[in-house]
Structure 1
Amino acid sequence: MTSAAVLEHPGLLPGALDPTRPHARRTARDWLVDSLCFVAALGWVVVATLDAASPVPSYAERLPYPWMIPADAVIGVALAVALWFRRRWPVGLAVATLPLSAFSMTSVVSLLVIYFTVVVHRRTAVALAVTAGGLVANMFFALLRPDPDLAYWPTTTWGVAITLLVLAWGMFVRARRQLVLSLRERAERAEAEQQLRVAQAQQVERTRIAREMHDVLAHRISLLSLHAGALEFRPDAPAEEVARAAGVIRSSAHAALQDLREVIGVLRAEGSLATEPERPQPTIADLPTLVAESRAAGVRVDLHDEVSAADELPAATGRTAYRIVQEGLTNARKHARGAAVTVGLRGAPAEGLSVEIRNRWPVGEPDTDAIPGAGTGLIGIAERVHLAGGRLEHGRDGSGDFRLAAWLPWPAT
């Protein structure tokens, strides 16, 4: 709801009562303001009645009937009581009491308060319509209740001046409240947008960490499956080899379980990210260790590193290259068991970094014991490369090999 629309409903303004909501109640400020208005209206009734009934030359000399003094007092008291309902029906009270402003002296304060309420809480068009009616009634007031000391036009001018003054004051109050509401709405919107940005940043960070852990977990499980398959294939292997393979399986299973717990913990996090510091992310310098793990699992891997000034490679680019090689080795173990894998890296500052993983396409029927995959590894790698501003290619080449190749930008230092 806009600020202008809010102003059309008094209950939505600070210190106002909304008649459309049964649970709305006057605030302490409302009670204080309404009480002061009621007391001021009653005080003016007393003053105006005493002045009209005084023996000195006054309005009483111009009244055609004596009973008009007590009748006017009753009208003034009734309008003072009606002020307690002005928040609920401001326009209705203004229209109903508009004829009284043509002759009632005791109701002047009450009529001005009701008129002020209309100007503050209703549209400008409504306020101007009530103002026009009041100005017309004011012209009759000078005729029906002439001032003994002032002529007709000075009296009428004073009435117009007071009416316009109340109009200006009410419009100022309305504009100020509208400004306050606009600033409050803007502040609340900014706070909500900030909270949304924080939540989105946390979600992006959790997704990034989960993706990193997914790649590591897939790599460890593929190693685990490879060692278990070797034991199944050679049940008569020497005890030392069996013990060494069992140790590798145990350590890989423990590491995979730990990674899985971290993934679940990250995905379940809702308030904030884990308070523990994030583990150091691998870079291109960790590729020999990654290759050594695959060789220990029985995979024939040849690493050709032709990168110049590797220590100047940006950390993000090195981490992306590591994940590409990791995904390529994982896919080779899954889908091309026993095939030799060639990993090649070359590049230099201002030339970019090229990464290529190549293995022979498996011959014969697909292995029914192959490690199942979710099929999202290459999708994740493609997203990484795209975000890094590089290019990715994968599939069978002209020689029949499966080739995973990427080029990553490497700006000159």
Structure 2
Amino acid sequence: MTGWLHERERLEDALYVVGFFLLGVLLYLIVPEVAIRWNDGPEPSPWALLGLLAVAALGHTQRRVRPVLGLAIACGVLLAMVQLGSVPLAMMMLIGDLLYCSVLYSSERLSWTVAGATVAVAGGAGLVSLVSDGGRAAVLVILNLGLVLAVPVLWGREVRLHRGQADAERERAEQASRMSELDRAAAVAAERARMARDLHDVIAGQLSGIAIQSEAALNLPDPDPAVLRRVLQSVRRDSVASLAEMRTMIGLLRADGAGDGDPRTAPAGLDRLDALVESAGGTGLRIEVDDARGGAAELPAAVDLAAFRIVQESLTNAAKHAPASRVRLHLGDHDGELVIEIENDLMPGAPAGGGTGTGLVGLHERAVAVGGTVTAGPDGGRWRVRAVLPVPAAAGASR
């Protein structure tokens, strides 16, 4: 693509060279009197003027790559034409275009140098004319040179300024686009991490409970029909809950939001604590609940969800690593903080904190997401999890 642009630019420059030369020849043949003259001597040779114009046109081939060099060649030709006493109109047009290109395509320093030199030439010519021919002649010289020289310079500076502004805006837009892409990638990564945590905390926990309950039912030597029925009911309840959670997650991931019209399930919270404890009890855990919160606490949705997931994950871990153990669950509030403590007996020979550690990481991330903390570890023959979640004053006031 870049090579094609360079070829196009070279073609345009060649057309400019041919066009200026042909225009100069045509103007000289049709209106030879339209020229700047310095004396009343004999008319210079047409071949000399056209030859000099051809040299200036060749210098015009550098208008884009080395415009100052092309301008220097044209100025040399101009001085030669001044010596002959006549400067054709086409030569002044060529000088104007090279001034425009020198201001536009050269470096910033050279651009200002060319502009300053143009002002100096116009001012010097006006001063010489003032001294030699008087004020009227000086005004005419300055006006003529201003039209021929100043307009291309000012035009080139203006185009250069607008191009610089456009390039700066384009760069800012590209930077904003890159920042937006980075933000989008970070948001996607965060959302994937959240989904992975939810899959582990919700679906994996419930499926683990189903597996533990099923294994318990299969290993009963002489199952009591009532006990077996209770275990199967718990398995079914957890299965239905897992399907509902999975369906909700899939619904949230739908890009267009279109679906079958089924309502989304509300975010889980501590209002489902009884069902959670009943489900965990079906795995064989003996759970003692001590809810010491003062009244019906209206927790923020994020804190309520985090508290529920922490309790859920802790009970799932207890069922995995200490089946049929005694579990004590304590909920309390203290100085604007929700305190959750879960303790269970460590099984003899079981490694403290056994497992992959994903569950403990999930607990920590849940708490940190709402500004809280979680500690977990063995404590005197028992495994203890303690979470402290801040509750905003507005939520605490509603108790």
Under TM normalisation by the shorter chain, which class is it? 0.7 to 0.9
State the Cα distance separating 1:99 from its structure 2 match.
0.8
- Quote the residue 1:103 is aligned against: 80
**Secondary structure of the residue that 1:22 maps to in structure 2?**
helix
State the Cα distance separating 1:51 from its structure 2 match.
5.2
**Secondary structure of the residue that 2:391 maps to in structure 1?**
coil
State the Cα distance separating 1:180 from its structure 2 match.
2.0
Task: Tell me the alpha carbon deviations over residues 79-136 of structure 1, each in whole angstroms, 9 at most, x when there is no partner.
Answer: 4576576334433422333311223423211121022112012223223444577789
Structure 2 contact 17–58 (Cα < 8 Å) conserved: no
Structure 2 contact 248–264 (Cα < 8 Å) conserved: no
Structure 2 contact 231–282 (Cα < 8 Å) conserved: no
| Equivalent runs, 1:33-72 vs 2, <5 Å | 42-43=22-23, 45-48=25-28, 52=32, 59=37, 62=40, 66-67=44-45, 69-72=46-49
Structure 1 residues 180-189 or 298-307, which shifts more? Answer: 180-189
**Secondary structure of the residue that 1:307 maps to in structure 2?**
coil
TM-score, normalization: structure 1?
Answer: 0.73
Mapped to 2, the partners of 1:278 and 1:197 lie a distance apart of: 28
- Alignment counterpart, residue 359 of structure 1, candidates 321, 344, 360: 344
- Alignment counterpart, residue 193 of structure 1, candidates 166, 179, 192: 179
State the Cα distance separating 1:384 from its structure 2 match.
2.0
State the Cα distance separating 1:184 from its structure 2 match.
2.8
Counterpart code for 2:79 = A
CA 1:153/1:411 → structure 2, altered by over 3 Å: closer, same or farther? Answer: closer
CA 1:273/1:77 → structure 2, altered by over 3 Å: closer, same or farther? Answer: same
Structure 2 contact 290–330 (Cα < 8 Å) conserved: yes
- Alignment counterpart, residue 127 of structure 1, candidates 111, 120, 131: 111
Task: Tell me the alpha carbon deviations over residues 315-348 of structure 1, each in whole angstroms, 9 at most, x when there is no partner.
Answer: 2211111111112111111111221001111127
| Equivalent runs, 1:14-413 vs 2, <5 Å | 21-24=2-5, 42-43=22-23, 45-48=25-28, 52=32, 59=37, 62=40, 66-67=44-45, 69-76=46-53, 79=56, 86-104=63-81, 105-106=87-88, 107-130=91-114, 157=142, 161=146, 162-238=148-224, 241-242=227-228, 245=231, 248-249=234-235, 252=238, 279-347=265-333, 351-363=336-348, 365-366=349-350, 373-397=355-379, 399-412=380-393, 413=397
Mapped to 2, the partners of 1:48 and 1:178 lie a distance apart of: 39
Identity %: 26
Q: RMSD over aligned Cα, in angstroms? A: 4.5
State the Cα distance separating 1:366 from its structure 2 match.
2.6
Counterpart code for 2:339 = S
TM-score, normalization: structure 2?
Answer: 0.75
Structure 2 contact 59–69 (Cα < 8 Å) conserved: no
Structure 1 contact 42–80 (Cα < 8 Å) conserved: no
Counterpart code for 2:100 = F
CA 1:157/1:49 → structure 2, altered by over 3 Å: closer, same or farther? Answer: farther
Structure 1 residues 94-103 or 154-163, which shifts more? Answer: 154-163
Mapped to 2, the partners of 1:34 and 1:296 lie a distance apart of: 89
Mapped to 2, the partners of 1:248 and 1:180 lie a distance apart of: 67
CA 1:394/1:75 → structure 2, altered by over 3 Å: closer, same or farther? Answer: same
State the Cα distance separating 1:286 from its structure 2 match.
0.8
Structure 2: gaps (5+ residues): 82-86
Aligned length: 377
Mapped to 2, the partners of 1:273 and 1:195 lie a distance apart of: 21
State the Cα distance separating 1:360 from its structure 2 match.
1.6
State the Cα distance separating 1:400 from its structure 2 match.
2.8
CA 1:74/1:315 → structure 2, altered by over 3 Å: closer, same or farther? Answer: same
Structure 1 contact 219–327 (Cα < 8 Å) conserved: yes
Structure 1 residues 72-81 or 286-295, which shifts more? Answer: 72-81
Structure 1: gaps (5+ residues): 1-17
Mapped to 1, the partners of 2:70 and 2:264 lie a distance apart of: 68
Mapped to 1, the partners of 2:303 and 2:116 lie a distance apart of: 75
Structure 1 residues 45-54 or 388-397, which shifts more? Answer: 45-54
Structure 1 residues 330-339 or 58-67, which shifts more? Answer: 58-67
